Amino acid sequence: MNFISTLQRWFPPQSELSGKSILFSAGAALVSVILVAMASRQMLQGIAGPFLLASMGASSVLLFVVPSSPMSRPWSFVGGHLIAGLIGVTSVQLIPDIATAAAVAAGGAILAMHLLRCMHPPGSATALLAVVGGDAVHNLGYQFLLSPVAINVAIMMGCALLYWHFSQRIQQGVSRQTLEAELKRSEEKWLSSGPAFSDEDLKRAMVEMDTFLDISRKDLKEIYSRAQQHTHARQLGSLRCGEIMSQPVISVEFGSELKEVWNLLEKYAIRGLPVIDRAQHVIGIVTVSDFVRHAEQLPQETLSERLTHLRHRTTRLESDKPEVAGQIMTHPVFTASEGQPLSEVVQQFTAKRIHHIPVVDLKQKLVGMLTREDVMAACGCLADEAVHDSEH
């Protein structure tokens, strides 16, 4: 057992990719290198020199296996190869000794890629090829940057862009389907939470539509939604927001770190947290949807990786992503007063497609949170009371 544990420490798993993802990335690399080789050979006929750079093989690992790496970004790939190639050609032109020229090319390429923020390790191999490639490469001079370097890079970049596009569509499609299915179930549960609407509720909903109804599915859903709102209002009667709101309410501030916010959402199994200022006034709300919306803009491959990257604090002085609650919160936010009739507020859940409504007092300070679950529970209790009264 100790021997196995030692092996696991020495050879830890490099990724948690599924077999399908591994085959997809390997297949993409295979196809792209074939296309680069075929196109380059066709375009570079009559050129005395290599038509395919060996460094493209190393680039394919970055582009198709770890596309979320900063070293795999378009500028890193394109700039890394072209700038390193330029330094390699210049080194061999100015320095007669091949060994010295190779060392200068490698070191200079790394320095230039650092300064120009296009670090791409295979670029250093391109710089070395310009030096150690022999007379065929040396005779090309600076034409080496155009053919084969620029041609190889352009074709490989095109293949990578296509791969990224389709892989992201697949990942986002799966993630969006899961999220949309969850939201749809929540919406259906919300709309069906109350008792069946009456004919009067349906009539009032049709009057509010104020249009000639050549009934379509969309119109029927709209009528049903409006009728359900009236059902809630009728059943809730004079009930006030403050009577059913959840409290004490968990809240965060503008400067609360995203990891802290996410931990609170998980700990209390809730979907949203109000954001308050020092005077306890509500300035926004942070929901799971806000995390997803901002995570989708990050370069990581999967939604899970993007959410993980978004939640963790950046240790550098500068950050290219949101770091605190105030940067991702939804604002302005709809609020209700604790003395406000619940029937006036409940329809806002559907109208604004929201799940949480912060409740404030007369001084506009946060005192509670109203959720769809709170309203459904209240409707259920009132329905049970109505049944109990009818039986007696």
The amino acid present at 151, given as its one-letter code, is: I
Sign of CA dihedral 282, 284, 286, 287: positive
More confident residue, 40 or 264: 264
CA angle 317, 322, 328 (to 5 degrees): 155
- What pLDDT score was predicted for residue 314? 84
Q: What is 173-188 written as a DSSP string?
A: HHHHHHHHHHHHHHHH
Structure tokens at 154: 């352009």
- What pLDDT score was predicted for residue 179? 46
Q: Rounded to whole angstroms, how far apart are CA atoms 95 and 102?
A: 9
- What pLDDT score was predicted for residue 175? 46
CB 214 within 8 A of CB 329: no
Supply the DSSP symbol for 150.
I
Any idea how long the chain is? Answer: 392
The pLDDT tens digits of the residues spanning 117-131 come to 999 999 999 999 999
- Cα–Cα nearest to 155, from 250, 53, 282, 231: 53
Q: Is the pLDDT of residue 221 over 50?
A: yes
pTM over 0.85: no
Q: Rounded to whole angstroms, how far apart are CA atoms 2 and 21?
A: 32
Angle at which helix 19-43 crosses helix 151-191, to 10 degrees, equals 150
Lowest mean pLDDT among 95-109, 196-210, 260-274, 367-381: 196-210
Phi, psi of 367 (to 5 degrees): -125, -15
- For the chain, the average pLDDT equals 80
CB 55 within 8 A of CB 119: no
The pLDDT tens digits of the residues spanning 41-96 come to 888 776 666 788 999 999 999 999 888 778 888 999 999 999 999 999 999 999 99
φ/ψ region of 46 (left if φ > 0, alpha if ψ in -120 to 50, else beta) reads left
Q: What is the mean pLDDT of residues 349-358?
A: 80
CA 84 vs CA 123, 127, 132, 319: distances in Å: 6, 5, 14, 27
* Neighbour tally for 192: CB within 10 Å: 12
Q: What residues does 357 pair with on adjacent strands?
A: 370
More confident residue, 236 or 281: 281
Can you give the residue ranges of every domain in the chain? 18-168, 192-236, 237-313+320-392
Q: What is the mean pLDDT of residues 317-331?
A: 88
Cis before 121 (ω within 30)? no
Q: What is the mean pLDDT of residues 270-295?
A: 91
The b-or-e profile of 61-97 (16+ CB within 10 A means b, else e) is ebbbbebebebbbeebbbbbbbbbbbbbbbbbeebee
More confident residue, 243 or 353: 243
Helix (H, G, I), strand (E, B) or coil at 354: coil
Residue keyed to tokens 């596009």: 165
Q: Rounded to whole angstroms, how far apart are CA atoms 119 and 374?
A: 53
In this prediction, residue 195 has a pLDDT band, given cuts at 50, 70 and 90, of very low
Q: Which residues contact 177 (CB under 8 A, 6 or more apart)?
A: none
The pLDDT tens digits of the residues spanning 383-392 come to 555 544 555 5
- What pLDDT score was predicted for residue 279? 92
- Among 163-177, 233-247, 360-374, name the most confident range: 360-374
In this prediction, residue 196 has a pLDDT band, given cuts at 50, 70 and 90, of very low
Q: Is the pLDDT of residue 36 over 80?
A: yes
Q: Rounded to whole angstroms, how far apart are CA atoms 78 and 154?
A: 8
In this prediction, residue 2 has a pLDDT band, given cuts at 50, 70 and 90, of low
CB 265 within 8 A of CB 271: yes
The amino acid present at 204, given as its one-letter code, is: R
Q: For the domain 237-313+320-392, what is the CATH superfamily, name and number?
A: CBS-domain (3.10.580.10)
Q: Is the pLDDT of residue 317 over 80?
A: no
Q: Rounded to whole angstroms, how far apart are CA atoms 77 and 207?
A: 62
* 336-337 and 282-287 strand pairing: unpaired
Element holding 253 (H helix, E strand):
strand 252-253
Q: What is the mean pLDDT of residues 184-199?
A: 48
Q: Is the pLDDT of residue 234 over 50?
A: yes
